Amino acid sequence: MTNHLADPLIRLILLPPAMATSQDYVEKGFLTLVASLSLPIEVSCIDIGYEQVMSGTAANYLHEQIAPKENERIWLGGISLGAFNALQFAASYPTVVERLVLFAPYAGTSDVLSAITDNQGIPAEWQTDTTLTDERRWWGWLGNPLLAKPTIDLWLSEKDRFLAGQQLLEKYLPNTKAQWLPGKHEWPVWQQMWLAWVNTVLTPPFTQASHP
């Protein structure tokens, strides 16, 4: 039997979508589902809003809130804008995050997505400009093959209103196989994604040596 108490703690941190808070994760059972498995995983949430995205302070704010401790591993997840913020943090602090869990990610504004499409690739200047504070920062990080990436889980729905941007994102995650569910950009679908992810990644017997 695996001695989970001897394993390094995994902190799975969830970031909420727009117009939602940590309480939504609590009320919809995201935390209790993982807690019921009795694994060495601590699930928590951090509230972060669109205002911090617009001001370019999201990554620094999250770094202050996460403050990783010795002998723990950080898995960062989010839905929609929460997934956007998770990518922004991982690009800004690439040594902190071991795994990204992206559900129905908001992939950016139309002008940024159009710039990638028109350029037939992620612009080279984004890949080296560490002063960027909008989504160009994490797109550039994804596009730079010299920069290390964590394990990335990507969950999408077939009728998501942000599908075009998500399919573009999928294209630049060559080591990630997107998982598809029917449905739209809404909580019932996200709850199904969460259940499927938990059953796929955290299905007992869970051994940390195999994750990620």
Q: Could you read off the pLDDT of 17-56 as tens digits, one per residue?
A: 999 999 999 999 999 999 998 888 999 999 998 889 999 9
pLDDT at 172: 95
Predicted local confidence at residue 206, as pLDDT: 60
Quote the CA–CA distance of 143 and 128 in Å, as a whole number: 10
pLDDT, tens only, 192-210: 999 999 999 997 656 555 5
Please name the residue that has the structure tokens 């996460």.
66
pTM, two decimal places: 0.92
Domains of the chain, earliest start first = 4-202 (3.40.50.1820)
- Indicate whether 100 pLDDT > 60: yes
Phi-psi region of 108 (alpha: psi -120 to 50; beta: other; left: phi over 0): left
Per-residue pLDDT, 2: 39
Q: 40 versus 85: which is more confidently predicted?
A: 85
pLDDT at residue 3, as a whole number: 39
**Tens digits of residue pLDDT in 152-193:** 999 999 999 999 999 999 999 988 999 999 999 999 999 999
What is the mean pLDDT of the segment spanning 100-118?
Answer: 98
1 pLDDT band (50/70/90 cuts)?
Answer: very low
Chain segment 51-84, per-residue pLDDT in tens: 899 999 999 999 999 988 877 899 999 999 999 9
Neighbours of 17 (CB within 10 A): 24
pLDDT at 5 over 90: no
Complete DSSP assignment for 42-97: EEEE----HHHHHHT-HHHHHHHHH-PPTTEEEEEEEETHHHHHHHHHHHHSTTTE
Asked whether the beta carbons of 11 and 44 are under 8 A apart, the reply is yes
**DSSP classification of residue 25:** H
